[in-house]
Structure 1
Amino acid sequence: MGRLIAVVLFIAVLVPGVLLARAWALAAGRRAVAAAAVGFTTPTPEGLATLARQAQHGRRVRRLGFLLGLAGIGVSIALFAEASVFLWLPALVLGLLLGVVLAEGTRPRPRWRAGSPPRRPRQSELISMVLVWSMRAVALAELVAAVLMWRRGELPDSVGWVAVVVPLAAWVLAEVALLRAQLRPLPAEGADVPLDEALRTWTAHLVTAAVSVLALLPLGTLLLAAGIDLGDRVTRGFDLLPVALVAGGFAGLAAGLALAVFLVTWLRPVRVDDRALTV
């Protein structure tokens, strides 16, 4: 009976990760609609210049994130020596994700003329609030798990600092990017409105996805380690906590990897394609 309960609990804990991956798959439809709307308009010269400027800024800052990842590899070698062989890929991924969030959080303001009176979209028009709040919940859960394990001595100080400071900094940058995307007034020229909405949608989805991956992968690793550690202890009766932690760890890792696939395919900048006008 205990094994049956453990299996049911394991499956139940995996469900939220599956639902989260499904929600992000549906988010691709919102981005596709925003991209299609751009194809039905002819942007102004200011709009085309803004597109080129935004794309160039994103590429430059993401390259900076790649350099941060390489620097992280060097730091891991200096701190952990031979043990750092397992940290090269996480350090590189960490730098790339930070580059994505930093690029979106520091995007230059468009140079087109704003409408009068200024109009601003609601955040729910740019991205599903389920995804935004799931990002916040996952980031908070990762911080709580890291702090608890750090205080109990289950994490070295070097790992603890990284597990707390990096996700927190990325979360703050994502909130700044979301706030900027929401508060920026719409352009005065109607032809630039679909382009502006696409840029906002890109920013909202990229920062939310990047921070979600940045929190899900460490959270899954921490839960998995805690569950395995608890499973090695001798207790009376049947303990479901290790099963729940291991299942939560697998769910976090699986959801983070699935979301990373979406994120890689979403890094292409907004493009003007006039094929829709010639059909």
Structure 2
Amino acid sequence: MGRLIAVVLFIAVLVPAVLLARAWALAAGRRAVASAAVGFATPTPEGAATVRRQALHGRRVRRLGLLLGVVGIVASIVLFGEASVFLWAPALVIGLLLGVVLAEATRPRPRWRTGTPARRPRRSEQISPVLLWATRGVVLAELVAAVWMWQRDELPDSVGWVALAIPLLTWVLAEVALLRALTRPLPAEGADVPVDEALRTWGAHLVAAATSVLALLPLGALLLAAGIDLGDRVTDGFDLLPVALVAGGFASLAAGLAVAVFLVTWLRPVQVDERALTR
């Protein structure tokens, strides 16, 4: 009976990861609609210049993220020596994802003329509230798990600081990027509106995806480590907590990898090629 309960619990904990992957699959449709709308409009010269400038800025800052990843590899070699060979890939991934979020948080403001009075879109027009609050919840869960394990002396100080600082910094940068996209006024020219909507949609989904991955993968590793450690203890009855922690760890890792797949396919910047108008 205990094994059946464990299997049922394991499957139940995996359900949120499936639902999260489904939500991101639906978000791909929102981005596709925004991309198609750009193809039906002829942006003004200011709008076309904005798209080029935004794409150039994104590439430059993401290269900076790659440099941060290389610096992280060097730092891990200095701190951990031979054991750092297992940290090279995580350090590089962290740097790249930080570059993605930093690029969105520091995007230059468009130079097109804004409407009078200033009009601003709603948050739900840029990204689903479900994805937004799921991202915040995952970051909070990762911070709680890191603090819990750190207080139990299950994390070295160096690992504990990284597990807290990186997701928290990414979260702050993501909120800055989302706030900037929300408070930016809409363009006055109607031809630039689809471009502006696509830029906001691209940015909101990029920061949410990058922040989710940077929280889900460490959360999965922390839950797995905690579950395995608790599974070694001797108890009087059947203990479901280790099973729940291990299942949650696998679910977090699976969800993080699923979101990472969407993120990689969405790094291409907004394109203005008027495909629909030339057919």
Q: Same fold (TM over 0.5)?
A: yes
2:75 matches 1:82: no
**CA distance in structure 2 between the aligned counterparts of 1:275 and 1:172, rounded to whole angstroms:** 37
Q: Secondary structure at the match of 1:271?
A: coil
Report what 2:269 is aligned to: 269
Q: Secondary structure of 1:230's match? A: helix
What is the deviation of 1:273? 2.1
Distance 2:161 2:66 in 1: 21
Q: Deviation at 1:33?
A: 0.2
Cα distance per residue 1:110-166 (max 9 Å; x no partner): 000110010000000110000000000000000010011111111011111100011
Alpha-carbon offset, residue 68 of structure 1:
0.3
- The aligned runs of 1:1-279 (5 Å cut-off) are 1-279=1-279
Q: Give the match's secondary structure for 2:177.
A: helix
Q: What is the rounded CA distance, in whole Å, between the counterparts of 1:90 and 1:145 in structure 2?
A: 19
TM-score by length of 2: 0.99
Q: Percent identity?
A: 82
Q: What's the offset of the Cα at 1:252?
A: 0.1
Q: Deviations over 1:201-232 (max 9, x none)?
A: 00100000000000000000000000000001
Q: Return the alpha-carbon distance in structure 2 between the equivalents of residues 72 and 105 of structure 1.
A: 21
* Distance in 1 (alpha carbons) for counterparts of 2:253 and 2:61: 27
Equivalent residue letter for 2:15: V
Distance 2:212 2:6 in 1: 28
Size of the aligned set, in residue pairs, is: 279
Q: Which runs of 5+ in 2 are unaligned?
A: none
Q: Which amino acid aligns with 1:183?
A: T
Q: What is the CA distance between 1:244 and its match in structure 2?
A: 0.2
Report the CA distance between 1:278 and its aligned residue: 2.3
Q: 1:275 and 1:242 mapped to 2: Cα distance?
A: 54
Partner Cα distance (1:254, 1:273) in 2: 36
CA distance in 2, matches of 1:19, 1:273: 35
Rounded Cα–Cα distance in structure 1 between residues aligned with 2:273 and 2:230: 55
3-state SS in 2 of match to 1:188: coil
Alignment partners' CA distance in 2, 1:275 and 1:139: 39
Secondary structure, aligned partner of 1:108: coil
Aligned equivalents of 1:150, 1:76: Cα separation in 2: 20
**Aligned AA (1:100):** V
**In 2, Cα distance between the equivalents of 1:186 and 1:275?**
24
TM-score (norm 1): 0.99
4+ residue runs over 3 A deviation:
none
